């Protein structure tokens, strides 16, 4: 076996392991093939060139792997390619158009216990705290939880 094939297997193995650790989450095919590629490369060095060359190859692989992973995990390495902008916008919570507690709406679907209500010409998802409410019934808004109206049947 030539040194070219051994070095090729070791480089492919190292790249696949880096891909596994940095890009692909969990244990996957890339990590398994990367590890196997490195093992086969070291084994080929032992069988083709003897114990001394095999040990030198094994030591080199360990040192190069450790140095590569240390360099890959340093934050300065990723500063050059990382996104520098931050997102300072926020989700529109519709606070200015949501109805207030105590106001009246109309059920446009059956609330059992979740359904739709209409308030001021707009449709909202609602949850009933008073059980089943028929369609077209008048309801009172009790509270608002994350853009969902909490309603009860109006007596």
pLDDT tens per residue, the chain (155 residues)?
688 999 999 999 999 988 888 777 777 888 889 999 999 999 999 999 999 999 999 999 999 989 888 887 776 766 666 677 777 776 655 555 678 888 889 999 998 889 999 988 888 899 999 888 888 889 999 988 877 889 988 87
What Cα–Cα distance (Å) separates residue 60 from each residue in 7, 39, 44, 48, 137? 11, 13, 14, 17, 78
pTM over 0.75: no
């Amino acid at each position: 076996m030539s040194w070219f094939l051994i070095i090729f297997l070791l480089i492919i193995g190292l790249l696949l392991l880096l891909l596994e650790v940095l890009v692909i989450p969990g244990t996957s095919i890339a990590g398994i093939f990367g590890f196997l590629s490195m093992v086969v490369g070291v084994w080929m060095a032992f069988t083709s060139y003897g114990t001394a060359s095999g040990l030198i190859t094994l030591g080199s692989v360990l040192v190069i792997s450790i140095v590569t992973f240390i360099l890959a995990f340093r934050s300065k390495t990723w500063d050059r390619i990382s996104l520098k902008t931050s997102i300072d916008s926020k989700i529109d919570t519709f606070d200015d158009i949501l109805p207030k507690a105590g106001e009246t709406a109309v059920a446009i679907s059956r609330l059992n216990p979740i359904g739709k209500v209409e308030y001021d010409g707009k449709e909202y998802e609602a949850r009933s705290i008073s059980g089943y409410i028929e369609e077209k019934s008048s309801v009172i808004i009790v509270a608002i939880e994350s853009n969902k109206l909490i309603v009860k049947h109006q007596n």
